[in-house]
Each structure stands twice: as structure tokens, then as C-alpha cells.
């Protein structure tokens, strides 16, 4: 099977490609934007680039002509669309860029699938689409009509666009709502990575709010397991579906910091700051549907996941 993975040099994308090349031909697409240090992305795919089952292409999903060239050269069986401008707070500062990449880029990919008869597509959505829904845990049946950031809005829009292409063009499509993924290679701007690095350097960490906000942290290996099970599901039927991929447990910001402190054996110096616009109070995944239909079964508890991340971080300090 030949698979196109967008965002292939990123945190999740590079891990996924490493798993896929064991059994499939993989074309990885990434534009290597400067959202964070490009050297990190190049390091993510350094090992992959030596694998004969992997081809890396630098291209921008906003540019339809570049995508047309790629789809004309390859007969893809499946597209896994991970590429996006990520992050809630930066999306508030630059909503136009987030719209261009996350919405227009998704439409461009789906258009190429339509034109080249690619009938299988997996879209990386986000737990942010649930906004500040009061009902927890979040179920795929819940309303997601009140996102509170441009990033969340673009992910909701992506799901709607996916549904229209399924309906009009019979593309088998699954949207995966990821819940705060962490682990080796996590983006350096995300809290676990940022706090750990700052604590190792003796720097003060920024804590937004009173530490009571909660997240459903999901270890990278569990996310990969969910994606691989989704591949089996989407390849075996013509379907449109949405699944949560989380751990189905919540950890407060204070608990997260304490877990890192215990693992590093360092006491964090904290700078308490106001809550930030666009940040949700909590995320909490109901994964009963994913368990039943996909066979998704996350296994990594938070403490063990943090220990694995810290081991990786210490080995990869600059």
C-alpha cells in the first residue's frame, strides 16, 4: 500500500512514518515552516530518509500546483492528513494563516483525492473542537458548535469539509480528535516539553491560572496505535466517522508540574500569570466508541509517559 502522510516531519508525523515504513511505501510531505526550529524537524526524519520505503517531499498544502505534481506522480491508496498550523494561542494572533493552512490546505488535499480517485482519507482533528463544553467526558455525539479559538474553529471546519467530500465523492473518511499528545519529539512550545527544559536550565516556568485546568494527556505510542487501527477501519469500508483518541483520564496543570518535578528531582520556580484567551478549562475523552469500533486501548499512564519523555529529553539536550 502507498500512503501519503502530510506533516511527516512533525512530532506525530515522524513517529507514524517510522511505524508505517515497516509494511508500506510512504511519501512524507512537509513544508518545514519556521513555527519552531527547522533543525528539529530535519532531525525527526533523519533516520527515515535512509529507508527505501520512505520518500520525503518538501511542499506546501496551500499550493495546489505542488500537490497536483505529487498526486500525478504517485498512485496513493490512502492519505493521512496531519499537517496543520498548531496551537491555540498563536492562532489568535494570526487567524488568517491558520485559515489558509488548516482549511484551504485540507480542501486542496481533498480536491486532489477527488481528481485522482484516492478514496481513503484520515484527518487529524483536535479535542479543542469541544471548546468549554460542560458535559464530561467529551463524546463524539456532543455538540461542537462553540469553539473558542481560531485553531479550534479550523479543525471543526476541516471535519465539516471532510463530511461533504464523503457525501459528494464517496471518499471513505475518518476524523480523529487527538487529546494533548506528548512523548519523545513533542513540540518544544508545548507545556510538558517547555517546562521540563526550563526546569533543567533553572529557569522560571510560566503558569497560567491557579493550576486547576485539566488535560487528557495521551502518550504518543497510544496515539499511533489508534491511527494504525483507524487505517484498518477506513480501508475496509466506505464510511464517514469521528473518533476520540485520548487516555480518558485528566491531569491538572499542578499535577503535571509535580510529576515532572518528581521525575527530574527539581523544584520548579513558577511565575503565576492570568489565564490565556482561547485556553479551555479541561479536556476529557470518552473513548468508549473508539474502544468498541477500532479496538483502541491506550496503555501508558501519565507517570510512565513522563518518565519516558524525560529520558528522551536528557539524551537529546543541545
CATH numbers and ranges of domains, the chain? 2-180+219-248+284-298 (3.40.50.720)
pLDDT tens digits, the chain, 318 residues: what are they?
Answer: 999 999 999 999 999 999 999 999 999 999 999 888 889 999 999 999 899 999 999 999 999 999 999 999 999 999 999 999 999 999 999 999 999 999 999 999 999 999 999 999 999 999 999 999 999 999 999 999 999 999 999 999 999 999 999 999 999 999 999 999 999 999 999 999 999 999 999 999 999 988 999 999 999 999 999 999 999 999 998 999 999 999 999 999 999 999 999 999 999 999 999 988 888 889 999 999 999 999 999 999 999 999 999 999 998 876
The whole-number pLDDT of residue 35 equals: 83
Of the candidates 186, 192, 219, 187, the residue with the CA atom closest to the CA atom of residue 205: 192
Please count the residues of the chain.
318
Is residue 3 a contact partner of residue 82, using CB atoms and an 8 Å limit? no
pTM, to two decimals: 0.96
| Residues with active-site annotation | 151
- Across 127-235, the runs of DSSP E, i.e. the strands, are 172-178, 181-182, 205-208, 214-215, 218-219
What count of other Cβ atoms lies within 10 Å of the Cβ of residue 138?
25
User: Distance (Å, rounded) from C-alpha 149 to C-alpha 141?
Assistant: 21
Helices vs. strands in the chain: H and E counts, helices first = 12, 13
Q: How many CB atoms lie within 10 A of CB 21?
A: 17
Cβ contact 123:103 at 8 Å: no
Cis link prior to 126 (omega < 30° from 0)?
Answer: no
Query: Using CA atoms, how far apart are residues 137 and 284, in angstroms rounded to an integer?
Result: 5
Amino acid at each position: 500500500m502507498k500512503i501519503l502522510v502530510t506533516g511527516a516531519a512533525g512530532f506525530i508525523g515522524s513517529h507514524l512514518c517510522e511505524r508505517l515504513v515497516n509494511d508500506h511505501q510512504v511519501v512524507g510531505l512537509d513544508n518545514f515552516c519556521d513555527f519552531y526550529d527547522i533543525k528539529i524537524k530535519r532531525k525527526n526524519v533523519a533516520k527515515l530518509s535512509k529507508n527505501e520505503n520512505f520518500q520525503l517531499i518538501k511542499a506546501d498544502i496551500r499550493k495546489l500546483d505542488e500537490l497536483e505534481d505529487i498526486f500525478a506522480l504517485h498512485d496513493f491508496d490512502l492519505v493521512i492528513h496531519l499537517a496543520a498550523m498548531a496551537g491555540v494561542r498563536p492562532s489568535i494572533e494570526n487567524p488568517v494563516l491558520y485559515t489558509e493552512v488548516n482549511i484551504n490546505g485540507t480542501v486542496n488535499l481533498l480536491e486532489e483525492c477527488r481528481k485522482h480517485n484516492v478514496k481513503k482519507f484520515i484527518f487529524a482533528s483536535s479535542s479543542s473542537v469541544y471548546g468549554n463544553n460542560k458535559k464530561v467526558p467529551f463524546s463524539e455525539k456532543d455538540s461542537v458548535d462553540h469553539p473558542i479559538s481560531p485553531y479550534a474553529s479550523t479543525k471543526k471546519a476541516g471535519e465539516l469539509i471532510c463530511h461533504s467530500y464523503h457525501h459528494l465523492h464517496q471518499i471513505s473518511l475518518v476524523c480523529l480528535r487527538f487529546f494533548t499528545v506528548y512523548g519523545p519529539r513533542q513540540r518544544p512550545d508545548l507545556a510538558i516539553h517547555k517546562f521540563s527544559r526550563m526546569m533543567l536550565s533553572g529557569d522560571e516556568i510560566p503558569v497560567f491560572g491557579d493550576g486547576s485546568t485539566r488535560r487528557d494527556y495521551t502518550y504518543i505510542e497510544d496515539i499511533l496505535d489508534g491511527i494504525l487501527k483507524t487505517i484498518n477501519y477506513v480501508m475496509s469500508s466506505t464510511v464517514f466517522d469521528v473518533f476520540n483518541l485520548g487516555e480518558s483520564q485528566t491531569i491538572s496543570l499542578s499535577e503535571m508540574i509535580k510529576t515532572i518535578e518528581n521525575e527530574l528531582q527539581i523544584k520548579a520556580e513558577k511565575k503565576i500569570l492570568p489565564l490565556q484567551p482561547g485556553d479551555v478549562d479541561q479536556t476529557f475523552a470518552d473513548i468508549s466508541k473508539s474502544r468498541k469500533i477500532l479496538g483502541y486501548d491506550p496503555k501508558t499512564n501519565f507517570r510512565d509517559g513522563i518518565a519516558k519523555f524525560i529520558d528522551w529529553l536528557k539524551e537529546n539536550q543541545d
